[in-house]
Structure 1
Amino acid sequence: MADSPRSEKSKSSSLMDNLLGLLRVRIKRGVNLAVRDVRSSDPYVVVKLDKQRLKTRVIKKDVNPEWNEDLTLSITDPSTPIKLTVYDHDTFSKDDKMGNAEVDIRPYIEALKVDVDGIANGTTIARVQPCRTNCLAEESAITLVDGKVVQDICLRLRNVECGEVEIQLQWIELPGSKGLGSF
């Protein structure tokens, strides 16, 4: 039985009641990704958060692909990590996994709460160090760029012999959402 228009409206209003905002995840590039075909791979990235699943386009025959694609996620619980998986697109068989990584967005969310009025463009607000509990390949800086707080991240892929993915996080305020003040 189909949902009535009223129940659809209540579902969307309950999502807005829980929505803190939107997070733009820019998938920049892959570096030294694993070869899964004869001499190369046809990689793409899948980003998951809760029930959301977004993917980039496939880049043919390139283990150092440049995607520069923006994927936008709805954030309701900042303690839930974002999961990335890189796949090799295959035409006649199941796509091969080329590694995965997780991103803890809590340090970024905390940095968003800093009052940036009077802070110079390019200022580093916070730094996140690589450790055993994250997939960072190197230190990650959270900086003020053109009035927006952004985090550049280089993720070392797990469950694969090599490969990194560079991403960038940027918050998008959404009118009608709870906002970060409620977190």
Structure 2
Amino acid sequence: MENFLGLLRIRIKRGINLAVRDAISSDPYVVVQMGKQKLKTSVISNSINPEWNEDLTLTVADPTVPITLRVYDKDTFTLDDKMGDAQFDIKALLEAVKMRLESLPNGTIITKVKPSRENCLAEESNITWEDGKVIQNMIFRLRNVEQGELELQLQWIDIPGSKGL
């Protein structure tokens, strides 16, 4: 426990206009990986615009390790088809958390992360103060695929007794 800085809750909200990998649709799921940790969402059948709204939680020991998202199409008799990937880091989120801005009004934008060649953001990402928490909403343009975006939300959770930030 003492080696961890905290937890990162990733809410996989939805996929937008994902690639078709079966006859007319896809059966997508998302794999989130940070270092050796690997988590996955449930499979949404027959949808290129799936709504997951699932929370996956990673333990963070090294905040410089990038997080990789991979979207797959679930197949029954063959290997699952790749439907794109994205990668991001949590540096901006952690900088906002370190500010300890407990007295901000709800909905205050702390900082913004602009899309660049170094990230997969489809649009500007706001880091906001919501209900006593630092939240980052993100929409990623998937790489290595003809189309598709993934919307998610990040939230940092301090662990009592951990090294902390």
Same structural fold, with TM-score higher than 0.5 when normalized by the shorter chain:
yes
How far is 1:176 from its partner?
Answer: 1.5
More helix by share: 1
Kindly report which structure 2 residues correspond to 1:137-156, keeping only aligned pairs within 5 A, or say none: 137-156=122-141
SS in 1 for 2:135: strand
**CA-CA distance at 1:115 after TM superposition:** 2.7
1:41 pairs with 2:32? no
Q: Which has the higher contact order (CA 8 A, sep 6+)?
A: 2
- What residue in structure 1 maps to residue 55 of structure 2? 70
Counterpart of 1:100 in structure 2 is: 85
The whole-number CA distance in structure 2 between the counterparts of 1:175 and 1:89 is 38
Give 1:117 deviation, angstroms: 2.9
**4+ residue runs of structure 1 moved beyond 6 angstroms?**
none
Count of residues in Structure 1 that have an aligned counterpart in Structure 2 = 165
Q: 1:58 aligns with which of 43, 49, 58?
A: 43
Identity %: 64
Unpaired runs of 5+ residues, structure 2, are: none
Alignment TM-score, normalising by the size of structure 2: 0.98
Which letter does structure 1 place at the counterpart of 2:77? F
Alpha-carbon separation, structure 2, partners of 1:106 and 1:33: 28
Q: How big is the shift at 1:80?
A: 0.7
TM-score, normalising length: structure 1: 0.89
Task: Output the aligned Cα RMSD.
Answer: 0.6
Separation in 1, partners of 2:145, 2:130: 33
Other structure's SS at 1:39 match: coil
